[in-house]
């Protein structure tokens, strides 16, 4: 059966996450329903990563198998037609080898977490940022983030529901960027790794926000990491500020 790689963008607010669920809307469910309108029968879609409820993506990658040999552009156009009005879009589509796998072939995943720092409620950016009511010290946050780079036991920043076999991960990037926007000053956290634990990025974002407020000194991030204890973590940041921005492979399926 012909296999296709899909690059997918979605707004996570209406969904209970990526993974298909029997009683709640999901991104996977929306895509599989759209595929069923193109070819009858059951369709399985596998993704590079399972985002949680309310988390967005502009660079999620998934795979699907089709009975018909579709021209990739026509397949993406047909899927986008049937995905409406759900806030999901296929932004690229490519034919790939039958043994290509969106999840197991990925060598890097990238996320960005956005924090809008202003007293007024977020209106135009609502649902896409975590709004905090005052300025954050981006320099202190960057100092704290530096302690997380490299290979560590990330038990402190791991959800109790995480199903990963090991808490040891290698964080290749944990960058703090301060950006002046029309809406106000944004703190953007850019994280990059081969793979992440459940809630790892949101746990890091919530912890670094404590540093930005001055409630934690930057060194406490290192102490929390070394504790390897979930109780040592800061608050978990809300899902709406998180976006999966990209996935990399040894060979880019989209050219």
By annotation, the residues acting in catalysis are 52
Dihedral in degrees, nearest 10, Cα atoms 157, 225, 130, 141: -160
Is the four-CA dihedral 218, 219, 225, 229 of positive or negative sign?
negative
CA 208 to chain centre: 18
Three-state DSSP state, 200:
helix
The H-or-E segment that residue 91 falls in is strand 88-96
Q: Which residue has the tokens 């060979």?
A: 251
Closest CA relative to residue 112, chosen from 13, 248, 246, 243? 243
Q: What angle do CA 68, 62, 254 make, to 5 degrees?
A: 80
Q: Which strand (E) or helix (H) includes residue 6?
A: strand 3-10
SS3 per residue for 40-60 = CCCCCCEECCCCECCCEEEEE
Evaluate whether 155 touches 229 at the Cβ level (below 8 Å).
yes
Residue 181 makes CB contacts below 8 A (sequence gap 6+) with: none
Q: Which residues, in sequence order, are CB contacts of 215 under 8 Å at separation 6+?
A: none
Assigned token pair, 233: 């973590």
């Amino acid at each position: 059966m012909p296999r296709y790689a899909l690059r997918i963008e979605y707004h996570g607010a209406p969904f209970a996450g990526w993974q298909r669920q029997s009683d709640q809307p999901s991104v996977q469910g929306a895509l599989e329903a759209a595929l069923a309108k193109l070819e009858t029968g059951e369709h399985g879609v596998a993704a590079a990563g399972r985002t949680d409820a309310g988390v967005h993506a502009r660079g999620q990658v998934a795979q699907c198998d089709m009975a018909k040999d579709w021209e990739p552009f026509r397949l993406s156009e047909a899927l986008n037609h049937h995905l409406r009005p759900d806030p999901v879009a296929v932004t690229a589509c490519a034919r790939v080898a039958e043994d290509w796998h969106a999840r197991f072939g990925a060598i890097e995943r990238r996320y960005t977490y956005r924090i809008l720092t202003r007293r007024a409620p977020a209106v135009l950016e609502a649902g896409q940022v975590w709004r905090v009511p005052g300025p954050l010290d981006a320099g202190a946050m960057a100092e704290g983030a530096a302690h997380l780079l490299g290979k560590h036991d990330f038990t402190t920043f791991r959800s109790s529901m995480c199903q990963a076999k090991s808490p040891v991960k290698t964080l290749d990037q944990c960058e703090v960027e301060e950006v002046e926007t029309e809406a106000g000053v944004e703190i953007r956290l850019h994280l990059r790794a081969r793979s992440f634990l459940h809630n790892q990025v949101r746990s890091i974002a919530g912890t670094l926000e404590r540093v930005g407020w001055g409630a934690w000194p930057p060194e406490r991030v290192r102490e929390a990491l070394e504790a390897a204890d979930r109780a040592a973590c800061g608050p978990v940041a809300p899902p709406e500020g998180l976006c999966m921005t990209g996935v990399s492979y040894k060979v880019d399926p989209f050219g």
